[in-house]
């Protein structure tokens, strides 16, 4: 298996472009011929766990409100601030048809007795850290996937057959006894199937997907259950008659590539159990490629002035985060969602790499004016600095550019950062944000919760 893994990693990029069907098809066929469906030669393969806390937000809230046990409970955003959607629910609310992302008013129509609590992110982050601390007692190869999920590579301590399942059961009991939360665990030989296993049976369960049973367990599931198949991909797959994970696995890989490019080849490999991605250790620092922030506004934005106020506020938080990590953006991107919930984005190259809020906001407004006509009010707006490069002070490279002014702006923003760190973010603000009491008072920095980086 190690030889095959190395070969795939070293040659994947070349073969994706030149001969996907031959390469992956031959490797898969050779593995089956060499090992057969008995899976005997897989005994020394990796042992990966995917641990998923059941109904994380809602479960943490019920821990702190014991009287709510046995009642339908959900965590939802603020209807007053127009963030009124369901963020999490408990299992008692599920039979009523309550779903994550549903509007609060819709949820109350389906379940009049539904108790909706506001989110408390510091509380969730605390329990997330406690959950991960338990996992780190078994292995340092723990990779977060959001606050409530993590992959663990336990190959080194699970050499005997069945040991990984016993370990998964032990971890489930520890989380239950020590934190009062239940988790579902998927046990497999790769990350994709481990994640799938934790989703198959909930709550408080362990599911094993092995080389000997994955076709029976996995291939009959809907294609949307496979990690990497989002709504648009699922829609495209349905359009060509691909409905299950087995359909993806048995499709022609060149056809999958034609549909989705390189991602189609990844989906084919995922469905066939050919995922070789490593579990990244807890101290792994991913390469940050972009920094962004967006918000649903307290009221609809109806003109350029409204958009400028919100964009400037968001750009300040984005610029400050870039300065914190010592990066500058080469491009800026804006995302817009209209009042009828249509969404689109646009991006452009900055004249010079920047981490100055005013420059990001100015380029964002240029994109908006060029691409939006205000026939429909905007409900939400976002801005992102992308193609990040390490920070370098401005230099005078042209007689026609005033780099002294840019240097002064950079120093000013660093000074503002320092004041806010010492006395609070809200203690110092731009005058432009004071021109509208409602949309100008968004707490763009502290309300922007950053979760761990996701898979792929």
Give the domains, in start order, of the chain with CATH numbers.
1-36+228-280 (1.10.150), 44-218 (3.30.70.270), 290-389+429-441 (3.30.1490.100)
Q: Tell me, what's the pLDDT at 421? A: 67
Q: How far apart are CA 333 and CA 405, in angstroms?
A: 24
Q: What is the pLDDT of residue 13?
A: 36
In terms of C-beta density within 10 A (0-12 exposed, 13-18 middle, 19 or more buried), how is residue 230 classed?
A: exposed
Please tell me the predicted confidence (pLDDT) of residue 278: 92
Q: Which of 56-70, 71-85, 336-350 has the highest mean pLDDT?
A: 56-70
Average pLDDT over residues 293-320: 87
pLDDT of residue 39: 37
pLDDT (tens digit per residue) in 403-437:
677 777 777 777 776 776 676 666 556 666 666 66
First vs last Cα of the chain: how many Å apart? 22
CA dist., res. 119 & res. 84, Å (int): 11
Q: Decide: helix, strand or coil at residue 332.
A: strand
pLDDT at 20 over 50: no
Is the model's pLDDT at 290 over the cut of 80?
Answer: yes
**CA-angle at 198, arms to 192 and 202, nearest 5°:** 155
Cα Rg of the chain, angstroms: 25
Cα 169 from Cα 185, distance rounded (Å): 8
- Whole-angstrom distance, CA of residue 19 vs CA of residue 215: 25
Known catalytic residue at 149:
yes
Helix (H) / strand (E) element for 243: namely none
Q: Which pair of tokens denotes residue 362?
A: 């100015």
* Percent residues over pLDDT 70 in the chain: 77
Mean model confidence pLDDT for the chain: 81
Residue in 61, 143, 149, 316 annotated catalytic:
149
């Amino acid at each position: 298996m190690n030889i095959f893994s190395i070969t795939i990693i070293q040659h994947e990029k070349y073969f994706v472009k030149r001969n996907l069907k031959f390469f992956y098809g031959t490797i898969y066929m050779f593995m089956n011929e060499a090992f057969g469906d008995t899976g005997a030669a897989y005994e020394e393969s990796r042992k990966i766990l995917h641990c998923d806390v059941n109904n994380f937000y809602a479960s943490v809230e019920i821990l702190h409100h014991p009287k709510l046990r046995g009642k339908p409970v959900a965590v939802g955003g603020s209807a007053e601030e127009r963030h009124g959607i369901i963020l999490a629910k408990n299992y008692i609310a599920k039979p009523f048809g309550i779903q994550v992302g549903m509007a609060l008013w819709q949820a109350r129509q389906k379940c009049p007795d539904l108790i909706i609590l506001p989110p408390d992110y510091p509380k969730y982050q605390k329990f997330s850290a406690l959950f991960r601390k338990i996992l780190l007692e078994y292995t340092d190869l723990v990779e977060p996937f959001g606050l409530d999920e993590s992959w663990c590579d336990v190959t080194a301590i699970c050499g005997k057959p069945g040991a990984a399942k016993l370990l998964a059961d032990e971890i489930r009991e520890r989380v239950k006894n020590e934190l009062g939360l239940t988790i579902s665990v998927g046990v497999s030989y790769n990350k994709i199937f481990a994640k799938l296993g934790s989703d198959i049976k909930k709550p408080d369960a362990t599911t094993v997907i092995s080389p000997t049973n994955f076709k029976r367990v996995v291939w009959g599931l809907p294609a949307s259950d496979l990690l990497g198949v989002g709504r648009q991909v699922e829609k495209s797959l349905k359009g060509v008659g691909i409905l299950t994970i087995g359909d993806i696995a048995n499709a022609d890989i060149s056809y999958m590539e034609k549909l989705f490019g390189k991602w189609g080849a990844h989906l084919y490999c995922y469905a066939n159990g050919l995922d070789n991605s490593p579990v990244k250790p807890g101290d792994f620092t991913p390469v940050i490629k972009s920094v962004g922030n967006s918000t649903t506004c307290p009221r609809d934005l109806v003109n350029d002035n409204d958009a400028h106020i919100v964009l400037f506020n968001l750009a300040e938080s984005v610029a400050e985060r870039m300065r914190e990590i010592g990066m500058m953006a080469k491009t800026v991107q804006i995302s817009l969602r209209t009042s009828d919930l249509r969404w689109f984005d646009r991006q452009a190259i900055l004249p010079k790499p920047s981490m100055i809020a005013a420059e990001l906001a100015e380029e964002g407004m240029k994109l908006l004016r060029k691409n939006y006509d205000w026939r429909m009010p905007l409900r939400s707006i976002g801005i992102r600095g992308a193609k990040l490069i390490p920070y370098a002070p401005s230099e005078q490279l042209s007689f026609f550019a005033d780099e002294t002014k840019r240097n002064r702006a950079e120093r000013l923003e660093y000074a503002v950062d320092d004041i806010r760190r010492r006395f609070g973010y809200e203690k110092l603000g731009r005058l432009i944000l004071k021109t509208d009491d409602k949309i100008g008072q968004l707490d763009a920095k502290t309300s922007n919760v950053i979760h761990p980086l996701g898979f792929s």
